Amino acid sequence: MADPQGFLKYDREEPAHRPVPLRLMDYREVYEAAPEGQLEQQATRCMDCGVPFCHEGCPLGNIIPEWNDLVRQDRWEEAFDRLHATNNFPEFTGRLCPAPCEGACVLGINDDAVTIKNIELAIAERSFEEGWVKPIKPSLDTGMTVAVVGSGPAGMAAAQQLTRAGHRVTVFERDDRIGGLMRYGVPEYKMEKKWINRRIEQMEAEGTEFRTGVSPTATDLNSFDAVVLATGTPVPRDLEVDGRELEGIYPAMEYLTWQNRVNEGDYDEPAISAKDKKVVIIGGGDTGTDCFGTALRQGAASVTQFDIRPRAPKNRAASTPWPMYPLLYRTATAHEEGEYVITGDESAEEIEALGLARRGEGDTLGVRVYNANTVSFHGANGKVESLRGNEVKVVDGRRVPMEDTDFELDADLVLIALGFQGSERGGVTHELGVSFDERGRMVRDEQYRAETKPLFPGFKPQVYVAGDNGRGQSLIVWAIAEGRACAAAVDADLMGETALPVAVTPRTSPLGL
């Protein structure tokens, strides 16, 4: 049982961040290690709440109160066992998940929620440091073979579960490294890629085979007993306005991929760089924010992020009452960097690295603009030089321009971060005759079986769909949950029954995710 007085004794505390001028000089993760005893203290804030809504807030169904209480008692290895029972990759979610569990925390009704995400990450990292994470090899060989196409969190989770069930699993990845958007979309400063490599080593030791640089054909997949498509939703949503054809306007993911490849050592410099440029990011979500932090590290002359939505309230909005994921104003680490005010006390090294010589004392490094709508791009000699826009407001459910709010902004690098509009329809999905719905998602039934009409007769394996390509663009924690649930469905079909845990993953969450 939790300490019923813990939340009265302690306030919420989060790990400190490295100083902005220092962290903008590299791509290392921004968080510092928590002081000794802080995490145990924070875990003590987990209430004896009776009905822990954090379970419902977490798509994985993590048994959060149990591992919180084990951390409180300094029983870390037991906490590791409880956490890994529901989450294959807590080191990923502990860094990248927006923590819907905290939005549903009972303590959050009238106080600051428990730091669930930070405790989760601490358990994961300590489990590796102490050597508790070991390959879990299957106790039998079913003789069944499964192909997993795509190596993002959904594909990795499905592959690990199916390998542990005794099937021979091969993961196909068209890129040269495993990890999907975790590898080439998420900036290094949010998650260093060595953590993906570390988990791959465990999976290979368990028996999962990875093949990179391969886009399998239907013929390649026909030799397997089952196929899982976990290819995500990589098709970016474009902005179709006048001037879109100008050079210097790119999808956000293309920009982020180049810098991640530089960090991997593939190139000395990115083909798309913000250095010395006036950068405008169109889109106020996580991907746009990732571009924001990356552009600052590349030495942009200025960075402006457009969000077409109004600024969210400081406290939970009435439209998202507890236990829904709250709509409120958040400051990401990248925005914290943008809000950094130049003091004039920076070292010569910091000034050179950050390009502070282009700015004056009292200036900030970047800015977010709300209610901002882009109308058109303009340039000369085929290159973008500026954009025109206006402010908008919502009237009868539609965004309409506000009078006398037209503006023009210099821009020689524009990054479009408006999300994704579905799965790719060519290649193997075309060969398999996969059906798509109006939102670009692959059609599947409740057991994750895809609706297919293979283009050639005799295609034998059942095809399944897991992750964003079936659910739609979503969170990393949903991708892992989908991979686990799909693996259970595959195992049940192949063997007639399954001992794998079955996660409930409806199309939409009751908590608004």
Confidence category of residue 59, pLDDT binned at 50, 70, 90: very high
Distance CA 175, CA 181 (A): 10
CA distance 48 to 114: 12
d(CA 250, CA 279): 11
Q: Tokens for 326?
A: 């709250």
Which tops the pLDDT comparison, 343 or 33? 33
Q: What is the CATH class of 249-413?
A: alpha beta
- pLDDT band, residue 362 (cuts 50/70/90): low
Count Cβ neighbours within 10 Å for each residue of 384-409 and write b for 16 or more, e otherwise.
bbbbbbbbbeeeeeeeeeeeeeeeeb
Q: Find out whether 340 and 21 touch, Cβ atoms under 8 Å.
A: yes
Distance of alpha carbon 278 from alpha carbon 358, whole angstroms: 12
How many angstroms separate the CA atoms of 118 and 241, rounded? 42
Convert the pLDDT of each residue in 259-301 to its tens digit. 999 999 999 999 999 999 999 999 999 999 999 999 999 999 9
Q: What pLDDT was estimated at residue 1? A: 56
CATH no., domain 145-235+421-495: 3.50.50.60
Q: Rounded mean pLDDT of 322-334?
A: 94
DSSP code at position 99: -
Asked if residue 506 has pLDDT above 80, the reply is no
State residue 91's pLDDT score: 98
Helix pair 286-298, 252-263: axis angle to 10 deg: 50
Using only C-alpha atoms, the chain has a radius of gyration, in whole angstroms, of 24
What CA–CA distance (Å, rounded) separates 490 from 159? 11
Share of the chain above pLDDT 90, in %: 87
**Is the pLDDT at 315 greater than 70, yes or no?**
yes
In angstroms, the Cα distances linking 83 to 11, 26, 77, 114, 128 are 24, 32, 10, 16, 13
Q: d(Cα 229, Cα 448) in Å, to the nearest integer? A: 10
What is d(CA 55, CA 101) in angstroms, rounded to the nearest whole number?
Answer: 7
Query: Which has more confidence, 170 or 510?
Result: 170
CB 129 within 8 A of CB 156: no
H or E element: which one contains 401? strand 398-401
Task: Mean pLDDT check: name the lowest of 85-89, 419-423, 488-492.
Answer: 419-423
Scored b (16 or more CB within 10 A) or e, 273-305 reads bbeebbbbbbbbebbbbbbbbbbbbbbbbbbbb
What pLDDT score does 353 carry?
Answer: 60
Parallel, antiparallel, or unpaired: how do β-strands 383-395 and 462-465 relate?
A: unpaired
Average pLDDT for the chain: 93
**For range 114-118, the mean pLDDT:** 97
Higher pLDDT, 408 or 503: 408
Burial (CB < 10 A; 0-12, 13-18, 19+), residue 343, is exposed
Decide if pLDDT at 107 tops 90: yes
Length of the chain in terms of residues written? 513
- 1-52: pLDDT as tens digits: 567 889 999 999 999 999 998 899 999 999 999 999 999 999 999 988 889 9
Give 509's pLDDT tier (boundaries 50, 70, 90). Answer: very low
Is pLDDT at 512 greater than 60 in this prediction?
no
Question: How is the chain split into domains, by residue range?
Answer: 8-22+36-130, 145-235+421-495, 249-413
In this model, does residue 257 exceed pLDDT 90?
A: yes
Please give the pLDDT value at position 349: 72
User: Lowest mean pLDDT: which of 197-206, 239-248, 341-350, 488-497?
Assistant: 341-350
Coil vs helix vs strand at 149: strand
Which pLDDT tens digit goes with each residue over 365-392? 899 999 999 999 999 999 999 999 999 9
Within 8 A by CB and 6+ apart from 267, the residues are: 258, 261
Structure tokens at 88: 């294959």
User: What pLDDT is attached to residue 4?
Assistant: 81
Fold of 8-22+36-130: Fumarate Reductase Iron-sulfur Protein; Chain B, domain 2 (1.10.1060)
The residue-averaged pLDDT of 462-478 equals 96
pLDDT for the residue numbered 397:
87
pTM, full prediction: 0.94
How confident is residue 507, by pLDDT bands cut at 50, 70 and 90?
Answer: very low
Q: Is the pLDDT of residue 358 over 70?
A: no
Please give the backbone phi and psi of residue 95, each rounded to the nearest 5 degrees, phi first.
-105, -35
pLDDT of residue 508: 45
How many whole angstroms separate alpha carbon 510 and alpha carbon 513? Answer: 7
Separation between Cα atoms, residue 423 and residue 425, nearest integer Å: 6
**pLDDT surpassing 80 at residue 182:** yes
Task: State yes or no: pLDDT of 119 exceeds 70.
Answer: yes
Quote the pLDDT of residue 503.
57
What does the alpha-carbon distance between residue 392 and residue 398 come to, in Å, rounded to a whole number? 9
3-state SS, residue 462: strand
Same fold, 145-235+421-495 and 249-413: yes
- The letter for the amino acid at 32 is E
Q: For residues 191 and 211, give the distance between their C-alpha atoms in angstroms, rounded to a whole number.
A: 23
Question: Contact, 61 vs 86, CB < 8 A?
Answer: yes
The whole-number average pLDDT for the span 309-332 is: 93
Phi then psi dihedrals of residue 128, to 5 deg? -75, -45
Phi-psi region at 150: left, alpha or beta (left = phi > 0; alpha = psi -120 to 50): left
| Encoded tokens for 458 | 């005799």
Q: What is the dihedral of CA 67, 68, 72, 74, to 10 degrees?
A: 30
* The predicted structure's pLDDT at residue 459: 93
pLDDT above 70: residue 354: no
With a cut of 90, say whether residue 474 has pLDDT above it: yes
Packing angle between helix 153-164 and helix 194-206, nearest 10 degrees?
20
Say what percent of the chain tops pLDDT 70.
Answer: 95
Write the single-letter amino acid at 322. Answer: W
